[in-house]
Amino acid sequence: MVVDPMIAGLGVVAIMGAAATIAGAAEDLESDVGSMSNPNSQVQLAPQMGNLHRIFNKAVSGEPVQMGTLAGIAGAVFFVLFNTLHLPVIMSIAAGAATAALWHVAFATTSHLGRTTSLAQFNQPLFMDVVVEHLGPIAGHGFIVTFCIVGISYLMTLPIVGFNHPFAVPFLAVLWGITIGAIGSSTGDIHYGGEREYQQYPFGGGIPVAIHGDIVRKAELGARNSMDVVNFCAKYGGPVTGLCFGLIVFLSFWSTVVFGAVGGVAVIALILLLLIYLNNRVEVFARTKYGPYRK
Amino acid sequence: MDPLIMIGAVTLGGVLIGGGVHFIPVGGAPAAIATATGVGTGTAMLAAGGGMTGLITAAALTGSPLWLILAAGAVGSALMLAVTMFVGNWVYVWGVGCVPCSAKVDIDPISKYPQDKYVTPGTEGHGIPTVCFVSGVIGGLLGGMGGGLAYWAVYTALIDKLPGYFPLLQAKLAIPPAAALAGIFALGLFFVNAVIASYNIGGTIEGFHDPKFKRLPRGVFACIVASLVTGLIGVLLLKGVV
């Protein structure tokens, strides 16, 4: 049975969108449990303000750079195993993601130790149980991200109308890794920085400069750690990040597969106008629902 | 391809990237904790993220006319930034509970909504209001177009050098090294110009309505110089390919 190329293309787009959604959610949760992104500025600042804590702290590079490197490692190992040793696709992707996870664990350990050492002058202790307990979730979430990213990159190179991308899988993986890092850093991490880190203050406003560094250090039971953070952010920040990356991957390819090259560009231009309108509606909703801070 | 055309295209691409970055509303670490208006990440990182999507969509149309590659790069990059800003606003509104507003203007130049009384006391604004959103989309369009132009220039120059390469590519007998090399070149050009623009705006900017936007000519000049040098190095590299 011959499948219509557009139907095959749409099927691949659907799989890519689903994989991107899972990858996006896992990426945000990885940065929450490892405190990777910009909110980590407060984790780093807290001991300097006299607030010692048990939060994991590994932000020694930008989140996009870390994810680009991780995805690039996974993509390169996949490329070798699949093209040279001719292993099955899924097995090659899994082996690539597992190799990247090993690098990820080494990166997380050394960066956390380095970061904490730099805070020794402010009496911030290094908790070995925090290091050991957090490495599993960090590597696990990272594995899911790299598995999905390499999978998306592989699907993009398939000889189907609308795909057949000229870039090699490792390079595509690096590009998508940088993109997903930028997205996770821009969307879900605000839930961690703007809400979870300052949950002891009333909900409904930005974080004034005067309280910077006064992050939440007590949990429902005992001291708060990054497991509590990821447990909270998995309820909103993670899923919306997944939706964001899933939408970007899906719309980028759906438009080309359905409407062709020229039509696809026109459709995305229309989607851009629609997004400007929808964003304005969100802004109006917040204005009418929350009201001003002062008359 | 004439080497001068390639250098010119790379320089123009770099200027479009660097100029586009000035339009993208980024608030850095303060925005990530709802203390400043804009997207809560670094300038170079967000611009690179958008640029990578534009590069992927532009390269997907390799072999198409130049205008189509530029258009695909522009809309791909703008789509990434638009969806990211849109979803980012969801988190600001429903996750943090604040109103998207600018602290740099009293009235939004596009929506005409008042801004100052919606700013949380002690902050520099939060979220991505309409003017920032529109500015970000324009920045994405310019940046993606610049990346696409640089990619097209290097790819075309390489294909001209390797006349026997394209049939191999069509017959699926070769891993596309020309596309990969051009892509890596465009990626590097993106980072160079995004970082220069980031230095010029001092890390954060709200968009074209921000007073820092007046620094644009200086940033564009720096991008011209850096991209010109990058283009020269690119030509020297290509001369050694065959």
pLDDT tens figures, B127-153: 999 999 999 999 999 999 999 999 999
- CB-based contact B17:B189 (threshold 8 Å): yes
- Asked if the Cβ–Cβ distance from A275 to B86 is below 8 Å, we say yes
Who's near B188: CB < 8 A, 6+ residues apart?
B230
CB-based contact, B38 to chain A, within 8 Å: no
Helix/strand/coil for B129? coil
**Yes or no, beta carbons of A195 and B41 under 8 Å apart:** no
Average pLDDT of chain A to the nearest whole number: 93
Structural contact between residues B210 and B37, judged by C-beta atoms closer than 8 angstroms: no
Q: What pLDDT is stored for residue A227 in this prediction?
A: 93
**DSSP run (H or E) holding B27:** none
- For residue B166, pLDDT beyond 80: no
B171 CB near a chain A CB, below 8 Å? no
Cα→Cα distances B151→A82, A249, B140, B185, Å: 28, 21, 16, 7
User: How far away is chain A from the Cα of B136, in angstroms, using its nearest Cα?
Assistant: 10
Residue with tokens 């959610």: A25
pLDDT at position B83, please?
Answer: 96
User: Does B164 touch chain A if contact means CB atoms closer than 8 Å?
Assistant: no
pLDDT confidence band for B242 (50 / 70 / 90): very low
Chain B residue numbers with beta carbons less than 8 Å from the beta carbon of A268 are 75-76, 78-79
Residue B163 above 80 pLDDT? no
Supply the pLDDT for residue A248. Answer: 95
Closest by CA position to B184, among listed A175, A155, A179: A175
Percent of chain B with pLDDT over 90: 69
User: Residue B125: beta bridge partners?
Assistant: B102
List, in sequence order, every residue forming a beta bridge with A225; answer none if it has no partner: A54
Taking an 8 Å cut-off on Cβ atoms, the answer to whether B28 and A247 are in contact is: no
pLDDT tens string A56-112: 999 888 899 999 999 999 999 999 999 999 999 999 999 999 999 999 999 999 999
How far apart are alpha carbons A102 and A100 in whole angstroms?
5
Cβ–Cβ under 8 Å, residues B104 and B125: yes
The confidence band for A210, taking pLDDT boundaries of 50, 70 and 90, is very high
Would the pLDDT of B172 be above 60? no
Residue B238: the pLDDT is 79
Interface test with A, best of B23, B37, B56, B62 (most A CBs within 10 A): B56
pLDDT category of residue A295 using cuts at 50, 70 and 90? confident
For residue B111, with 0-12 CB atoms within 10 Å meaning exposed, 13-18 middle and 19 or more buried, which class applies? middle
Q: What ipTM was predicted for this assembly?
A: 0.95
Rounded to whole angstroms, how far apart are CA atoms A257 and A128? Answer: 51
- pLDDT of B173 above 60: no
The distance in angstroms from the start CA to the end CA of chain B is 15
Ranges assigned E (strand) in B96-185: 101-102, 125-126
SS (H, E, C) A55-114: CCCCCCCCHHHHHHHHHHHHHHHHHHHHHCCCCCHHHHHHHHHHHHHHHHHHHHHHHHHH
Q: Cβ contacts (< 8 Å) between B48 and chain A: which residues? A: 64, 178, 182
| pLDDT, tens digit (0-9, with 9 covering 90-100), for B24-33 | 999 989 999 9
Closest residue in A to B184 (Cα) is A171
User: Cβ contacts (< 8 Å) between A208 and chain B: which residues?
Assistant: 35, 120-123
Are B91 and A237 inside 8 Å of each other by CB? yes
Kindly state the DSSP code that residue B42 receives in the 8-state scheme: -
Contact residues on chain A for B32, CB-CB shorter than 8 A? 37-39, 41, 185, 189-190, 193-194
Yes or no, beta carbons of A178 and B98 under 8 Å apart: no
pLDDT at B239 over 80: no
User: Is pLDDT above 60 for B61?
Assistant: yes
Under 8 Å CB pairs connecting chains A and B tally to 282
- What is the reported pLDDT for B164? 63
Q: What is the pLDDT of residues A216-233, one digit of tens each?
A: 999 988 999 999 999 999
Read off the pTM. Answer: 0.94
- Are the beta carbons of A84 and A76 closer than 8 angstroms? no
Report the SS3 class of residue A234.
Answer: coil
Task: For residue B189, give the 3-state DSSP assignment.
Answer: helix
Select from A38, A236, A279 the Cβ nearest to the Cβ of B95. Answer: A236
CA atoms of A223 and A235, how far apart (whole Å): 21
What number is the average pLDDT over the span A151-160? 92
Which 177-206 residues of chain B touch chain A by CB within 8 A? 179-180, 183-184, 187
When scoring A37, A155, A167, A198 by the number of chain B Cβ atoms within 10 A, the one with the most, hence best to mutate, is: A167
Distances (CA, A) of A45 to A42, A57, A178, B27: 5, 11, 26, 18
Average pLDDT on A21-49 reads: 94
At residue A61, the pLDDT reads 86
| pLDDT reported for residue A6 | 83
Write a three-state SS string for A166-220. CCCHHHHHHHHHHHHHHHHHHCHHHHHHHHHHHCCCCCCCCCCHHHCCCCCCECC
Q: What share of chain B is helix, strand, coil (3-state, %, to 5)?
A: 70, 5, 25
Which pair of tokens denotes residue A42? 């407060």
pLDDT at B237: 81
Closest CA to A234 of A24, A3, A16, A1: A24
Inspect the interface and report whether the beta carbons of B95 and A237 lie closer than 8 Å: yes
Residue A106 C-alpha, separation from nearest chain B C-alpha, in angstroms: 23
